[in-house]
Structure 1
Amino acid sequence: MKKFKAAVVAIVTMAGLAVAATPAQAADTCSAGGGGKYICDYGVTKHSLPNGEKEQFLVGLDYAVWTRWTVNQKWTSWVSMGMPAPVGTARAASSIEVTSGDNQGNFQTWITLLNSNGATVGKMRPALGANWYTWDFPNCC
């Protein structure tokens, strides 16, 4: 009988641990195309590129910013853009701006967002197809 009670207590304790949620799990979870999961409150930021392709940005369950884009009108897989410092502080992609970098079709893209302490941080891609710079303050670039 004591073993049975001990087993019941262990099961109840384990069940209680399974119910405890981390902050990301406590937030409402939404699904995006391509199997992406994100925190509903932050939504999906959609963005059209000058070459007719599209991009999407969202804040994932890990609080990192994730993106995907189209190539020949077909969506890529989701790719993490990482987290702005300090870790775990992304709130939402608040604005995305595209401007022409030069006359040869290189278009710069900026993404800015608020982190949990209210600071605005940003990331810039110098041209279509180029790698994104690291997270920094938007006036850095």
Structure 2
Amino acid sequence: MKKIKAAVVAIAAIAGMTVAVAPAQAASNCTAGGGGIYICDYGVKDHALPGGEKEQFLVGTDYAVWTRWTINKQWTGWVSLGMPDPLGKARGASSINVTDEQVQGNFRTGIYLRNSNGALVGKIRPGLGQGWWAWDFPNCC
């Protein structure tokens, strides 16, 4: 009887390890320009800025949202926009929605996505060259 219990416990432990390891094995990493490493399945989101400049967003291997942009057609390094724990991790760049609007003469950009909890979260940059506001739960999109 003890041998049967031990075998059942061993099989359950191995099955549990297999389930825990499978998601990590399924995610493969890709390299973006500038040395950015991201989860391949999520891709890279391109975004056009005024004056012909560009911006990109991706989900890094830490599941945070990262961005880079061009200045005089030269790419900056990657900068983390983070994803605070209470809001959950980013689900994927394929779910990032980027919006632009003119607000009091400023080119305002918003990014919105579903986090790992399934909630819609967003982050706003009130104008070019300005910092991003904190992640929040928007009443839009």
Same fold (TM over 0.5): yes
What residue number does 2:11 align with?
Answer: none
Q: Which moved more, 1:21-30 or 1:43-52?
A: 21-30
What residue number does 2:98 align with?
Answer: 96
Q: Could you list the runs of 4 or more consecutive aligned residues of structure 1 that deviate by over 2 angstroms after TM superposition? A: 20-26, 84-88
Deviations 1:80-120 (A, max 9, x none): 011144365211242001111123xx100000111112111
Q: Is the 8 A contact 2:87 2:117 kept in 1?
A: no
Distance 1:44 1:38 in 2: 8
Structure 2 unaligned blocks of 5 or more = 1-19
Structure 1 unaligned blocks of 5 or more = 1-19
Distance 2:22 2:38 in 1: 14
What residue number does 1:132 align with?
Answer: 132
Q: Which has the higher helix share?
A: 2
Identity across the alignment (%):
66
Q: 1:113 to 1:57 in 2, by over 3 A?
A: same
Distance 1:88 1:108 in 2: 25
Q: 1:74 to 1:21 in 2, by over 3 A?
A: farther
RMSD (Å) for aligned C-alpha atoms: 2.1
After TM superposition, the score normalised by the length of structure 2 is: 0.76
Aligned residue pair count: 119
After TM superposition, the score normalised by the length of structure 1 is: 0.76
Distance 1:88 1:101 in 2: 29
